[in-house]
Amino acid sequence: MLATQQSLSVEDIEIDLLLEGIFRQYGFDFRKYARSALRRRVRNFIRDEQIGSVSLLQDRILHDRQWLDRFVCSLSVNVSAMFRDAHFYVTFRKGVVPLLRTYPFSRIWVAGVSAGEDLYSLAIVLEEEGIHDRCRIYATDINDAILKRAKDGIYPLDLIKSYTNNYVRAGGKRLFSDHYTAAYERGIMNSSLRDHIVFAQHNLASDASFNEFHVIFCRNVMIYFNSELQAHVFNLLHESLVTFGIIGLGARETMKFSPHEHAYEEIDKNARLYRRIA
């Protein structure tokens, strides 16, 4: 639904029309993204592409799929880092890995994988804990270009090196350099980390649940959604999680006030890891 027309600026009206056009033409639904973050990213994209207005951007996107792909990429790339929020991964090792050891096989969903930093952090933990070969990880995102970047697992070497302190604080058991190869100023994540990963396109705003999972990571994704879309995604995640399964959220996200708040218990109040109990 288009936003109310009362007190809207011309820019807001243009953004509403742009999002509605994208939804009708391509099926991507960004209409319930948090407006302040969305407006900022639209402005940045227009500036970077040197386009005069949102209306001109709409014209290009509706008539050229390549413009859509670039625009979607600009919306879905989030600033991240491997082993970001070290306490989250310490708690995952101590509180979640022992649970996964009790299963003969585990399915894990990394929703909104972006460029793959959380994905490879998770895969490294599972490999170091000796259960990687007993897990299947489904890595999904709305945008195919982003998925390709995650699948390639290639990052600027200066960033990779900067992740070393995060890895140590997160309880890493080896040298972080054991998990990647350095070449041409790039760090290439070991191919073994991808052995049990399935990459697939999935839109949290419009697509249905596609499996039952023992663990779901949906970290630093819902901060870009409005309250209505957050509730929808929480319902989707709940539907996709087995009883006693684990959900991991970002540092600024919480299960509190969600539609299924009382179906979960905190594993650690600071780690944003929750166990489904009902």
Residue 248 · residue 92 · CB < 8 Å? yes
Q: Which residues pair with 264 in a beta bridge?
A: 276
In a domain, 16, yes or no: yes
5 inside domain: no
- Considering the domain architecture, whether residues 100 and 51 belong to the same structural domain is answered as no
- Tokens 């999904």 belong to which residue? 140
Asked if residue 1 belongs to a domain, the reply is no
Q: How confident is the model at residue 8 (pLDDT cuts 50, 70, 90)?
A: confident
| Residue 145 or 122, more confident | 122
> For the chain, how many structural domains are there in total?
2
Residue 118 belongs to a domain? yes
104: containing domain: 86-276
pTM above 0.85, yes or no: yes
For residues 161 and 177, the model is more confident at 177
pLDDT, one tens digit per residue, over 230-252 is 999 999 999 999 999 999 999 99
Position 207 in a domain: yes
Q: C-alpha 191: how far from its chain's center? A: 21
pLDDT band at 78 (very low <50, low <70, confident <90, very high): low
Domain boundary at 24, 48, 76, which?
Answer: 76
Q: Are residues 115 and 134 in the same domain?
A: yes
Q: Mind listing the pLDDT tens digit for each residue in 21-67?
A: 999 999 889 999 999 989 999 999 999 999 999 999 999 999 999 99
The Cα 22–Cα 206 span in angstroms is: 13
Q: Is residue 4 part of a domain?
A: no
Spatial neighbors of 85 by CB under 8 A, at least 6 apart, are 250, 251, 271, 272
- CA–CA distance from 69 to each of 26, 86, 146, 247 (Å)? 11, 33, 10, 29
On whether both 63 and 165 belong to a single domain, the answer is no
Q: Are residues 243 and 187 in the same domain?
A: yes
186-213 average pLDDT score: 96
Kind of pairing between the strands at 135-141 and 197-201:
parallel
Strand segments, DSSP code E, in 50-184 are 106-111, 135-141, 154-156, 180-183
For residue 2, being part of any structural domain is answered with: no
CA distance linking residue 52 with residue 30, whole number of Å: 22
CATH code at position 234: 3.40.50.150
Which of 200, 268, 221, 219 lies closest to 83 in space, CA to CA? Answer: 219
